[in-house]
Structure 1
């Protein structure tokens, strides 16, 4: 009888919770594309499941989009360009920035002590998760190279600190100009070293990635990327979150903000995936676990199991 009474109390408590009023949410995407569309679909599904209306707006914004922004209870942006554009407008509504690097969020022009009005779901992985994956996947390797540019200095410092805590030997090198990239790369990879690629487009972009991978391969140094495209191009493995995973988390954060009036704090992606390149592993003489096993072990580690 005691159990039934407790169940009844729980049901009554849930029924007593205030229901979030249906609200309009403006969703602003930096550009058209499969990644942004995938994230937008996940966000829209979460919000519509909560009874909210989603109005998608193109970027750059048009004059006729102003009433939609002004009448929205929440604005959600996808990508750095949309985030910068909305932040410059200083809208009255709370803003949730998604699918952008933490460094881009920290450079946005808004300055406020009211953390309830601004939040973010980043696309880059937390430093601890990245370093722990290296220790799980490559337990016999201790040297770690981190090349940082204008957009990744803080991230490089965080990774270096965590790597040292985990008894690795990180080598941090600042690259101020693309012309410095390859000499610096050859210097830090003078002996076999893990090269952890950072999401910094001033260093890692379509012009440089092929030569970076080729240089590292010749130095017998595995590259760890931040997207599955890196693995296809020749990286040993990658740790990343899909746009749908980031979008789902952003949708959940948006629903919570609309229900409570307070957005949750900025956060890295909660869900993630691991991708590996067995051909590169064999070429480098590395025995690598299956990606599913690495992901499972990393999840258990994060859960404290």
Structure 2
């Protein structure tokens, strides 16, 4: 039986019909579909991704694949353009040739570094802990001059273990920048990483909003409003102009702090809303 939930708003014949392919019903996905419908001014629907054989898919202007499970379960047998959301850059990478577009879940590492500089100081050295050089290249920073930028990657595979790499990083840098790597920053490793860092009075920046409660100092993140805003732009551009924006990070985002961690490190944290606006403005200048 098809799972169907429709969100309708005043529609016109020229407004697109969009379907959200989901692995399971979640409140956050329903919110995203509803907000996107309001932006498009037309109807959106939710359907289970395992219903891909249904001929109804072809009646839509676009399908939004929500999350890695929906992306993995999509057969791409339909001609309907597919846009992936709530997926990491790595998860989307294999399917990019067949996707019309994608909106990455995580913030770009350059943005996280810019955030750290605003908090710690522009002239403070920062360390990035990564699995290996391949992960550094995928982060989009392999072409950045390391010395002038005061950003140094520490490759775990070049050390005997994670702790040795972490201690080497903390010895020479004022903050640890986390990358969106669920293996490196797993539930098993994150406690050890945070305890080791704060023993050295060094904060962890990122890698995502989920780590703030665990003890990370700050991060940038995109909430449902930010995702729906960008998704609507992607859909309208692709459907109406027939040119789909390239898969990319979300340009709309917010800043979140762990105020308790900031106080324990005696750090004066800038206003989160003002800082997010400043970072977004600086990104737009490049």
Bigger RCO (CA 8 Å, 6+ sep): 1
Report how many residues are paired.
Answer: 274
Gaps of 5+ in 2: 1-11
Partner of 1:119: 101
Q: Cα 1:174–1:181, aligned 2, differ >3 Å: closer, same or farther?
A: closer
1:231 aligns with 2:224: no
Give matches, 1:135-284, under 5 Å. Answer: 135-139=117-121, 140-148=123-131, 152-156=135-139, 158-159=140-141, 161-162=143-144, 164=146, 167-175=149-157, 180-284=161-265
Aligned to 1:159, the other structure's residue is in SS state coil
Cα distance between partner residues in 2 of 1:38 and 1:211: 35
- The one-character-per-residue Cα deviations of 1:86-117 (angstroms, maximum 9, x if unpaired) are 2x334211111112122221122x636xxxx6
Structure with bigger gyration radius = 1
Q: Which moved more, 1:292-301 or 1:143-152?
A: 143-152
Q: Cα 1:146–1:35, aligned 2, differ >3 Å: closer, same or farther?
A: farther
TM-score (norm 2): 0.82
Partner of 1:81: 69
Aligned to 1:89, the other structure's residue is in SS state coil
Report the aligned-residue RMSD. 3.0
Q: Cα 1:152–1:298, aligned 2, differ >3 Å: closer, same or farther?
A: same
Partner of 1:12: none
TM-score (norm 1): 0.77
- The one-character-per-residue Cα deviations of 1:120-148 (angstroms, maximum 9, x if unpaired) are 12222234322222222211521322223
Cα distance between partner residues in 1 of 2:92 and 2:44: 23
Q: Cα 1:304–1:33, aligned 2, differ >3 Å: closer, same or farther?
A: same
Q: Cα 1:22–1:236, aligned 2, differ >3 Å: closer, same or farther?
A: closer
Cα distance between partner residues in 1 of 2:213 and 2:145: 26
